[in-house]
Amino acid sequence: MLDNLINKLNNDGFINVDEFADTFMLSVLADIPIIYHGEGGYGKSEMLISALSLFNGRFGMLECDPETTSAAIKGGAIARTINQEGGSLTEAYYNVANSLLQHDYFMLEEVLDASFNALSFLKAVITGKKIHINGDEIINNCKILVCATNINPTSVTSTVRENQRNSCAAFLQRFMIVEHGWKSHNADDYIALYPSVNELPVVQFELTDIDKWRNDVKLIEFNIDLWRLLAKLAEDSANSGNTVSPRAFQWTVRLIKSAALLRGSNVVERCDFRVIDYLSYWSVDWDEVDEAIEEIELRQVSNEKLDNFSSRLVTARRMFNTSVSNYYNYAVCHTSISKLYDKFLTTVTYDDDTEVKYNEVKLEFRTLLNEVAIARDNLMVAIEL
C-alpha cells in the first residue's frame, strides 16, 4: 500500500515524498486525522489531494479562514422559514449532504485559521463520531480526514484566550502532527523536479480496503513487555507536564500497531515507537527508551534460553526413565545431565522478572541429578553385594 502511494506521488511530480507517504498511510490505518504544517510552497495541499485521489469515494474540501465557523463544517447554513400557528419561524438549516460528515474523504485547508467555534465542533465530531444537526443524529461517515496549515500547531495555544487553551490543546490531541518540507535544498533537489516520462504502476484503493486494513491493525501483537514500557513512558510524560489520557494512550497503541503493519510485520517492535513523535501529548526521552528496550531484549533472550533448557530437561528425564537398569547407563545419564546443568549455569542470566523461572529450572536440574545419582549408587551397591 505504501509503495503504491509513493508511486502516485512520484507520478504527479512530487519529490522527497517518503515521510509524507509514510505518515499519511499511518493516519489512514490508525484512523487518526492528520495535520501537515510548514512553510508554503512545498506542496502540502497538492500532495494531500494527490494522495486522496488514490481512493475511490466522495471527496470534499473546505478552505478555512477566520470567518469559518461550525456551520461550514456542517455543510453550510441556509435560512428556512417554518409557518406555524401564531406566525412564522426563521431558523438556520444545514446542508448536511455537503458536510464533512457525509464525505468519504475530507480535507481542511488552512485548518488553524478557522474560528475557535469551528475547531471545537470539529473536535466533537472526531471524538463522538456523530453529531446532532437539524434535529437529527448524523453519523460521521468520513473515513479519512486530513488538514494542511502554514501555522505551527505548537504555537496556537499561546495565541488564544487563556480560557480556551485547554480546549485548543485537546483539539490538537485528536491529530497526528507532521512538519512537512524539504530537509535539503541542493541543486539535486531541484533537478529532481524535472518531469519524468516514466509512469510508475498505480492501483486505486477502495473503501473496503480501508476497513480491512483497520481490522488488520487490531490483530497486530503488542507483547506485554513493550506495553509496560509504553505505560512507563506515559507516566514519565505526565511527570513532565504532558498527561496522556486513557483515550490518547489507546490511540497511541493503535498508531504503533499501524506502524508495524505498514512495515509488513504482525508484531510490534521498538522501531514502531517512532510514531509517538507525531502526537502532541507525549514527552519522551528516547535514550531511556533505548535502554529499556535493551533490557527487554536481554530478558527475551534469557526466557528463550530457559525454555530451551526446560525442553532439554524433559528429554533428559525421558532418557533416565527409559534407561536399562544397569550401572553404566545411569552413569552415562548422570554425566550427560551434569554437563547440561553446567552449561545452564554458565549461559543463562536472569533478572527480577526471570528469577523465579530460573530457580524452577535450576531446582529441576538438581532434583533429576539427585534421582539419577541415587539410582546409579543403588545399582553399584547391588553389584558389590
Residues 275 and 339 in one domain: no
Q: How many CB atoms lie within 10 A of CB 27?
A: 24
Using CA atoms of 21, 23, 29, 32 in order, give the dihedral in degrees to the nearest 10: -140
Question: Please, which pLDDT band fits residue 86 given cuts at 50, 70 and 90?
Answer: low
Range of the domain at 320: 291-384
Residue 303 buriedness (CB in 10 A; 0-12 / 13-18 / 19+): middle
pLDDT at residue number 87: 60
Residues 110 and 181 in one domain: yes
**Is residue 19 a contact partner of residue 167, using CB atoms and an 8 Å limit?**
no
Computed over every residue of the chain, the mean pLDDT equals 86
- Asked whether residue 86 is assigned to any structural domain, the reply reads no
% the chain with pLDDT above 90: 36
Residues 142 and 227 in one domain: no
d(CA 150, CA 306): 55
Residue 183 has pLDDT above 70, yes or no: yes
Residues 178 and 318 in one domain: no
pTM (2 d.p.): 0.75
Residue 385 has pLDDT above 60, yes or no: no
Counted residue by residue, the chain has a size of: 385
Residues 14 and 157 in one domain: yes
Question: Please, which pLDDT band fits residue 318 given cuts at 50, 70 and 90?
Answer: confident
Provide the number of structural domains found in the chain: 3
For the chain, report the end-to-end CA distance as a whole number of angstroms. 79
Residues 211 and 258 in one domain: no
- Asked whether residue 328 is assigned to any structural domain, the reply reads yes
CATH of the domain at 320: 1.20.58
